[in-house]
Amino acid sequence: MANDNSFQDVLGRLEDVNKYLNLPPAIYNRLRYPRRSLIVSLPVRMDNGEVKYFEGYRVHYNTARGPAKGGIRYHPKVTLNEVITLAALMTWKCALIDLPFGGAKGGVACDTTKMSRDEIKRMTRRYTHEIAMFIGPESDIPAPDMYTDEQIMAWIMDTYSTIKGYSVPGVVTGKPVCIGGSLGRKSATSQGLVTVLLEAIQHLGFSHGNLAASIIGFGNVGAIAADILSEKGVRIVGLADSKGAIYNPKGLDIKAVKKHKADTKSLAGFKDAEQVSIDDLVCLQCDVLIPAAVAGQINIRNAKGIKARIIAEGANDPTTLEADAILKDKGVFILPDILANAGGVVVSYFEWVQDIQRYFWNEDEIQKRLEGIMTKAFKHVLAIAQDKKVDMRTAAMILGVGRVAEASAVRGLYP
């Protein structure tokens, strides 16, 4: 989860990038504040008859480029500060990829592992009711995030549609295909990450057939990325989930690992690997490190020990500001989150477009369009990095923040 200083890190990076953009003070200061933040209390009747209260949030950081776009997460440590941080990152991400969206994020502070399916459903419907004035296909389009999935998106769509009195599939993305979801959505973040990673490997002159990778996080993003990279010949040597980490320098059998995870609900105890701590795994030998779990996973405590030559950020905000400086001095090539994990929002955009048009594409077309957008974004960021002689994160911020600033300036200040 994001640390208490996460939004300060975002502002710090914004300040750093403004040294290259030299934005007018009025525009720069406008980008330092979220446009609107909503806090809601959610009374939910639990299965035992008790009414329990949860706190939820929805933040629109900036909507100069279009409707707000961003996921909804369910986690006991969700805070307003974290949601604002992630909404800001979504703003830069959508602009970097050149999607016609602003940035948003939402969340509910809850522990779904201790809730029944019906309790989660009732909480989701109540949350949707409370934020209904914020969301809509022309204003704010939520999507899945940590501990939310296509079923939760279906409940949100149904609740919103019930309020409106007619079906509104475009209110959320990441839905089941049977109610307007897009083919290719589940694997989109991982596909996009692998696309830019392979571009980076080619740029650096490496051969992906000789590379070893460790992945922190074995949820949807990490597990699918492991599958795709294995098929490309990359050796997966380390994996971690919330309960443990495993390491085998000769390579892990991903199919066997996934079966073990399905059987035991954890990576811990997998026989053909060394059992290590998550902190240790971050620093064990590998060529590519993919943090695909929570924010702040790479921090001042472990950054000096990292041996990877490439870091591809599958998670949002996984590297703290202090760790970033250490890794930059070490010469690590970082594919920042707002570039590396943007595949999810790209296919979310495709889904939104398909819902609005009521016309759906086949999966091959979606994969081809996704690869084209991610490749173009990588090359654009790389060109800025080489021209300005900056790292990839700074270059990505220059591109993303610059586009948001341009839209804000053109639209002007009202009244």
CATH number at residue 299: 3.40.50.720
Mean pLDDT of 354-379: 97
Q: Is the dihedral of CA 323, 9, 26, 408 positive or negative?
A: positive
Q: Following DSSP, what letter does each residue of 266-321 receive, concatenated?
A: SSTT-TTSEEE-HHHHHHSS-SEEEE-SSTTSB-TTTGGG---SEEE--SSS-B-H
Q: Is residue 182 part of a domain?
A: no
Q: One of 93, 105, 186, 261 is an active-site residue; which one?
A: 105
Q: Is residue 319 part of a domain?
A: yes
Other CB atoms closer than 10 Å to residue 302's CB: what's the count? 17
CA 359, CA 203: separation in Å to the nearest integer? Answer: 37
**Whether 163 and 41 share a structural domain:** yes
**Whether 158 and 222 share a structural domain:** no
* Residue 415: cis peptide before it, omega within 30 degrees of 0: yes
pLDDT tens for residues 291-302?
A: 998 888 999 999
Which of 106, 140, 168 terminates a domain? The answer is: 168
CA 241, CA 316: separation in Å to the nearest integer? Answer: 16
List the one residue out of 328, 390, 376 whose CA is nearest residue 398. Answer: 390
Other CB atoms closer than 10 Å to residue 146's CB: what's the count? 21
Which of 281, 300, 331 terminates a domain? The answer is: 331
Domain that holds residue 255: 188-331
CA 397, CA 400: separation in Å to the nearest integer? Answer: 5
175 is catalytic: no
The model carries a pTM of 0.93
Question: Residue 32: enclosing H or E segment and its boundaries?
Answer: none
CA 321, CA 152: separation in Å to the nearest integer? Answer: 33
Secondary structure class of 240 (helix, strand, coil): strand
Mean pLDDT of 110-117: 97
Share of the chain above pLDDT 70, in %: 99
DSSP β-bridge partners for residue 291: 216
**Whether 252 and 163 share a structural domain:** no
**Whether 143 and 201 share a structural domain:** no
Mean pLDDT of 404-409: 98
pLDDT tens for residues 326-360?
A: 999 999 999 999 999 999 999 999 999 999 999 99
